[in-house]
Structure 1
Amino acid sequence: MHGKQKLNLFSFTMIVVGLVIGMGIFRSAATSAKDAIDPSVYFTAWLLGGFIALCGALTYAEIGSRYPVTGGYYKIFSYAYHPSIAFAINSIILISNAASLSAVALIGSGYVTRLLPGTWTDIDKALISCAAILIFYLINLRGLRMSSRAQNILMLLKIGLIVVLIGALFFPHDAAEATTAAVTTTATPSMSWIQSLGISLIAVSFTYGGYQQTINFGNEVDRPAKNIPRGIFIGIAIIIVLYLLVNLSYYTIVGFDNMKGEREIAYVVINKTFGKNAADLLSFFLFFGVLAYVNALLMSNPRVMYAMSTEGVLPKAFSRQNPKNEVLTVSLTVFAALCIVILFFAQTFEKILNFTIFLDCFGMVASSATIFVLRKRTKHLDGTGIYKMKFYPVLPLIFMAAYMFVGISITIQTPMIAVIGLSVLAGFMILYFMVRGRNAGPVNTDTLSGAE
């Protein structure tokens, strides 16, 4: 970090907010409500999700501060565990990213079909999502890149849409009971409160995701011992307040029972408050935001596959570039194909959500647990100005227990998803030893996991 300007408290706080707030809040609230047996479960899940995010962000910030590396995950896994585990977890993170892209594409297709006449099935929406992925795959093949300015516009767009949804609370609107589009569904009557909370947390976890990227900033924050915990606490607090207010808007305007059947819930809120034209405008802008997200992931993830290939843990074909425009043709094609396969394997947001969060549970628990190894091996860094969390080991243990709880909830609800997830993890560990057996030489962990 010599010669580089470090992040002040405000900049780091805004990074935390930007990492977490995504497109999920425009869809996952309905899924979370569907699995909640009553409003107390629903709002508890959103409060608890924020607290879990706080515990996780503080844990990852210390990991990054103690072991500052670009990209973080592969080298930390290799250092704390074994390269085979690093490869397996890094690979399922890639698959999880592909599943997240597919899930967000489905959110966008759900909103854009509100603008089109006719009745649209889940297969139709999957086809629209597939078309969006293919379009941006072809764009990326031509070597086009999205500028950082466009990404900043996307962030402002998301914040703007959230503010509009919150603002709807203060405008006259139809009574919640008047919603006609919703198909009321209820959680299983025999489900206990704690079971309902666990299942409701699946969608909430998806919406709060992103804070784990604080692992990349632990050594780049000015006065980290003070500014990291403050920035994370303020950032997560802002996110919790925004999410709770949006959910209060959904709950007040749509009604709890009606929320359970509304997939494009933000559309209903705006339609009931500001009219159909405003709701259509929201759908248009939200679909634009989804396309930008799709493009960003199609740009970034093939680079991770390229880095893994150059280190010998993926076949050399993944590092192949187009000589004319330097596009990572094989990596880009494989990642786009993976997204489409997941789309048609699941077809619905809920199934993709369970799959990606189940994979995330492995990554979250394994990565956060490295703090126990790092604390022992980097004791010499204590007192040197690095960030060191308070309430250790309580916070990382709470975080790990929460994701174990979510993973168990997914296993109970959809056991086949759990079997597939475990099979994928085991398959990648076997693949590691097969690939390493054919590629002589040690793995250089200094440049892996998405290095620039």
Structure 2
Amino acid sequence: MTQHRKRNKSLGLAELIAIALGGMVGGGIFTILGISVALIGNLTPIAIIVGGMIAALAAYSYVKLGLYYKDEGATYSFFKRTYPGSDFSASAIGWFIIFGYISTLALYAYTFSAYAISSTEFAENIWVRKGIAMAVIGLFTLINVWSVNGMGKIEDLMVYTKLVVLTIISVVLINHGTTDFGTFIGNMAIDLEGSSFYSILIVASLTFVAYEGFQLVINAVNEMTNPDKNIPRAIYSAIVLAVLIYEVISMGALFAIPTEEIIKNKEFALAAGAESILGKLGANLVILGAILATSSAISGTLFGSSRQMAVIAKDGFFPHILSIRKNNSPQNAIITMAIISCLLILIGGLQLILEFGSVTFLLVSLLMGIANYKIREKTKSSTFLTLLSIFGLGIGGIMILYYELTNNWEQMLAIIVLYILLAMGAWIFSKKKQNSGSKPVAFRTYEAELEL
């Protein structure tokens, strides 16, 4: 008789919120701050709230599908199970979402290195920055390969420490800033006259990648306690906390740092501004916050997305070797994602990485909304909220494409070429699977997943 053992349920609500916040409050806020201020100035806090609303709309369908399917394959598995008839569409969404995660890994690591060396003589040395970025990815690859429980505890420590540090930084900046609240509101009114609501929507859409990460909670469904309660609690709590953190950070920066300084030093604006106001200690505190934020983002993204990659590989849409696990850890997938993200760091630019990530996650979130609408009775979803999420995410995608077309068509072309290459890879593996005669993986209940 075959012996079965239950999987170790080592991740509780605190760890799950930490994973989601680790994926969201990372390189995103430190990178988008300069870009947002350059486009809409003091209206940045408004764009952050709008971006959080778009993220909440996206999360609605993820939560409903996650509770219904309880599959660690998350985005990919939800789409595959809702539309089981097309190998290519399943393969394509798998390739898009995984490379979206890879782009965010590169973004977080790049931001880590920018802040880590911002106060040194190597601050402007691009190759030193890239070398440190690849090294930090290597470090957290080892941590994720080493232990799931160890990763969870380290993630807790980094995430909750960085929240305290970032809050202190923001409060200190506000108190030491040259701008009072009345002046700030006046500046917002001036910027509002020179901008349109469309500009705010464009920035909210461009910075959507700063909210990417909440779906990583679902990737840990096989390693969490009480998923029916903890999935929605962790995801919605993390989004609310992320909005609050981003608001405080952006207002602290705008109160204390001249907008031209934020725009000029966009890759490490907070550190540069804090040093000019608070001296070396202030700069070091910002650097510590940035390092903690990006470190936890790298760790959380590696943890969740590697499990999704293993599920996709098990279905035949990535090389089979990526589906192999040791002690329930997809070590080959973790290492592969780390290597590809390092290659992206070597060849890519920060702006391209950021915008590719935002477009990708808006696209796949829109597809999740459409999938949830199809089975809304099974997932017990509100028709109104599901349609509202589809509309909001669709508008966000259109805003990014409009911005790219009118401001940087060369970069838009580069993103399109990336999508074509990914689609070709997805097509090759879907054809390979069809030619091999592989059958779709049978649906398994969550209870069956609890045993090995």
Interval of TM-score (by shorter of Structure 1 and Structure 2): 0.7 to 0.9
Match of 2:157 in 1: 153
1:45 and 1:411, CA in 2 relative to 1: closer, same or farther beyond 3 A? Answer: same
CA distance in 1, matches of 2:305, 2:13: 29
Contact 1:173–1:272 (Cα < 8 Å) also in 2: no
Distance (whole Å) between structure 2 residues aligned to residue 283 and residue 344 of structure 1: 23
1:371-410 to 2 correspondences below 5 Å: 371-375=372-376, 378=378, 382=380, 388=382, 391-410=385-404
Give the distance between the partners of 1:244 and 1:136, measured in 2 at CA: 28
Query: Alpha carbons of 1:415 and 1:321: their partners in 2 closer, same or farther (altered >3 Å)?
Result: same
Structure 1 position 435, deviation (Å): 2.2
Q: Given that residues 144 and 151 in structure 2 are in contact (C-alpha distance below 8 angstroms), is that contact kept between their aligned partners in structure 1?
A: no
Whether the aligned pair in 2 keeps the contact of 1:126 and 1:344 (CA below 8 Å) is yes
Rounded to whole Å, the distance in 2 between the matches of 1:290 and 1:13 is: 16
Tell me if the contact between 1:60 and 1:214 (Cα under 8 Å) persists in the aligned partners. Answer: no
Asked whether the 8 Å contact 1:354–1:410 carries over to 2, the reply is no
> Is the 1:112–1:283 contact (alpha carbons within 8 Å) kept by the matching residues of 2?
yes
More divergent stretch after superposition (253-262 vs 70-79): 70-79
Q: Which residue of 1 aligns with 2:189?
A: none
Q: Gaps (5+ residues) in structure 1?
A: 177-190
- Percent of pairs with identical residues: 16
Matched, 1:122 2:123: no
Match of 1:354 in 2: 355
Q: Tell me how far 1:154 sits from its aligned partner.
A: 1.1
Alignment of 1:34-433 (within 5 A): 34-36=38-40, 38-40=41-43, 42-81=44-83, 82-137=86-141, 139=142, 143=146, 146-173=150-177, 193=196, 196-197=199-200, 199-213=202-216, 220-222=227-229, 236-262=239-265, 263-284=267-288, 286-319=290-323, 330-346=332-348, 348-375=349-376, 378=378, 382=380, 388=382, 391-412=385-406, 413=408, 414-433=411-430
| 1: CA distance, partners of 2:199 / 2:128 | 30
The answer as to whether partners of 2:137 and 2:338 remain within 8 angstroms in 1 is yes
Taking a change above 3 Å as real, the CA distance of residues 202 and 158 of structure 1, as seen in their structure-2 partners, is farther
Of the structure 1 ranges 281-290 and 231-240, higher mean CA displacement relative to structure 2 is found in 231-240
Check the 8 A contact 1:114/1:280 in 2, yes or no.
Answer: no
Deviation string 1:404-424 (CA, Å, 9 cap, x unpaired) is 433443454322233223303
Residue type at the aligned position of 1:429: A
Instruction: Name the SS of the counterpart of 1:356 in structure 2.
Output: helix
1:384-432 Cα distance to aligned partner (Å, 9 max, x none)? xxx6476452243223322343344345432223322330342133123
Deviation string 1:350-386 (CA, Å, 9 cap, x unpaired) is 221012222223212212211221125x2xx65xxxx
1:262-313 Cα offsets, whole Å, 9 max, x none, are 2212213432443213422442453255345434444554443333333333
The structure that is helix-richer by fraction is 2
TM-score, length of structure 2 as denominator length: 0.77
Aligned residue number for residue 183 of structure 2: none
Aligned residue for 2:338, secondary structure, equals helix
Q: Secondary structure at the match of 1:442?
A: coil
TM-score normalised to structure 1 length: 0.77
Q: Describe the SS at the equivalent of 2:163.
A: helix
* Residue identity in the other structure for 2:255: T
Q: Give 1:166 deviation, angstroms.
A: 2.2
Letter in 1 for 2:355: N
**Any idea what SS the aligned residue of 1:35 has?**
helix
Give how far 1:14 is off: 7.9
Deviates more, 1:259-268 or 1:110-119: 110-119
One-letter identity of the residue aligned with 1:365: L
Q: SS where residue 171 of structure 1 aligns?
A: helix
**Are the counterparts in 2 of residues 8 and 221 from structure 1 also a CA contact under 8 Å?**
no
CA distance, structure 2, for counterparts of residue 280 and residue 232 of structure 1: 31
User: Which region of structure 1 is more displaced relative to structure 2, 199-208 or 281-290?
Assistant: 281-290
List alignment gaps of at least 5 residues for structure 2.
1-5, 181-193
How far the C-alpha of 1:97 sits from its partner, in A, is 1.1
Q: Distance in 1 between matches of 2:297 and 2:165?
A: 16
Separation in 2, partners of 1:334, 1:9: 29
